[in-house]
Chains A and B, each alone.
Chain A
Amino acid sequence: MGSDNLTKLNGPKYEKMKQDRSMKSNLLVDCAIAFVSGGFICIIAQVFKDIITSGKLVDLLGTADEKSASALTVLFMVFLGALLTSLNVYDNIGKVCGAGSIVPITGFANSIVSSAMEFRSEGHILGVGAQMFICAGPVIVYGTAASVIAGLFYFLFTMG
């Protein structure tokens, strides 16, 4: 190998210099914002669920029982996430809220719709169809795998 003119620099030393010079994110503030904003999204969902179970909007939505109210709430939140993504709003929410807007199901909708929008220019089959799960795919795969493991434990501990 040829000579290196950076005679005074080596890997471990540079790693330390990098750590010293790199800007750090404020973990505590980020966590607090994520906690509050994520909670706020959940409040929106809870308010929606309370409305449809209370029967106050019977003419508009009908009255739902507990189980179908949960399903409807999930549908509503996914729709909300998708709508805000398509209106170019959700990415701006995400810039401020971070994990607070990624973790709720609105964030899941955002990851799918944003990918679909991004790859629309590559066609409906190989673009939208093939690429829309590039961000959400891992969540589905490992979510399914985790639920199988959880189910196995549930089965083992409730057998007797």
Chain B
Amino acid sequence: MAHKKGNQTYILDKDVIVRHSECIVGQKESEGPLGKYFDQKADDDFGMDTWEKGEAKFVEATYKKLLSRCDIEENLIDCILAGDLLNQCTSSACGLKESGRPFLGLYGACSTMAESLVNGSLLVDGGGMNNVVCMTSSNFCSAEKQFRFPLELGCQRAPNSQWTVTGCGAVLLSSGGNGPRITSVTPGIIRDYEISDTNNMGAAMAPAAASTIIAHLSDLERDISYYDLVMTGDLGLTGRELCRDILKMHGINAPKEIYDDCGAIIFDPEQGTCAGGSGCGCCASVLCGYLLKLMEQKQINKLLFIATGALMSAVSTKQGEPIPGIAHAVAIENI
């Protein structure tokens, strides 16, 4: 059973192995700087007649790909933890309705990948489950429709706005097998610094990310240099620098060799993505397609993965409510 250390960190006592991971991304993501690491791409609609069905298809295809590539019998999957950005998490539910396995829907906005890993690893560690799939997805077109404007509307994007990543990432956590281990998890605390600009969500989430990193390091009495790489989820170019500033303010030096952000590296600004990528699928595809591959090749051995979420809705922002941020941390290590 996991045990608590400090204010909010849990150290896992049993082996929780990241046995396999898969991702599928959209066309634009495959043309970005990390394109060569993403081995499967698809159109945003995945050949379906609506964006929403397309996103569900991303989820279904990624789940099937995960099962076929890691050679596990379907009925050995004890639980699937999944979530997305669409109202009532329909992409995950529709995409996994044929799976025939227990499903728990999650919502943590763009922090859902880490939220599912936190829950999944605790379930494997102490909940009697042996194989848990953690996955999330997002889709540029369906997210634009729900949160912003129609796709064909001829408007300009604000310089600090972010581009929702089309992509789905899935991880299989097991109590046995080979792969890096999840060693500790830090569920985050909601932080609200009164940012209400939906075109600057990196700024809304940066304090939450910094707060979780500080909590994780102080709970475990670690220095940031313990990790080879600390990756936040989707703060983007603006949020990444704000997070760095807040960390520095609290005595943590996070140079670019150690700390970076998935949203800041998934796109090239030349792609017209303004401050970078966002969405559940952003850090999910970077984790599954890129970071875990680096771990597999032993280029990095200790990774702190912090997915960040902006806890707003289309209604709350129209009513002028500020956007609270959240971030959950997962430590993944080659042992």
Contacts and interface: CB of A to CB of B under 8 A. Distances in A.
Interface of A: 2, 4-9, 11, 14-15, 17-18, 21-25, 30, 85, 88, 90-95, 97-98, 101-102, 107, 110-111, 113-115, 117-119, 121, 135
A102 B153 CA distance: 9
Nearest to B212: A5
A117 B195 contact: no
Interface string B152-164: 1111111110000
Contacts of B71: none
B152 A9 contact: no
Contact of A91 (B145, B152, B193): B152
B207 A6 contact: yes
Interface of B: 7, 49-52, 145, 149-160, 189, 191, 193-195, 200, 203, 207, 210-211, 214-215, 218, 237-238, 241-242, 245-246, 249-250, 272, 274-275
B218 A5 contact: yes
A114 B249 contact: no
A121 B154 contact: no
Which 3 pairs across A and B sit closest by C-beta, in order of nearness? A94-B154, A118-B150, A114-B152
Contact of A11 (B153, B193, B241, B274): B193
B152 A118 contact: yes
Contacts of B210: 6
A25 B194 CA distance: 22
A7 B215 CA distance: 12
A88 to B, nearest CB: 6
Contacts of A24: 159
A110 B49 CA distance: 22
Contacts of B237: 23
A17 B202 CA distance: 13
Most buried by B among A4, A15, A21, A94: A21
Contact of B150 (A6, A7, A21, A117): A117
A6 B214 contact: yes
A15 B124 CA distance: 41
Contacts of A85: 152, 154
A134 to B, nearest CB: 8
A95 to B, nearest CB: 6
B159 A90 contact: no
A15 B322 CA distance: 13
Given A88-B152, A110-B152, A9 B275 contact: no
A91 B194 CA distance: 32
A8 B157 CA distance: 33
Given A117-B150, A118-B150, A9 B246 contact: yes
A131 to B, nearest CB: 9
Contacts of A21: 203, 238, 241-242, 245
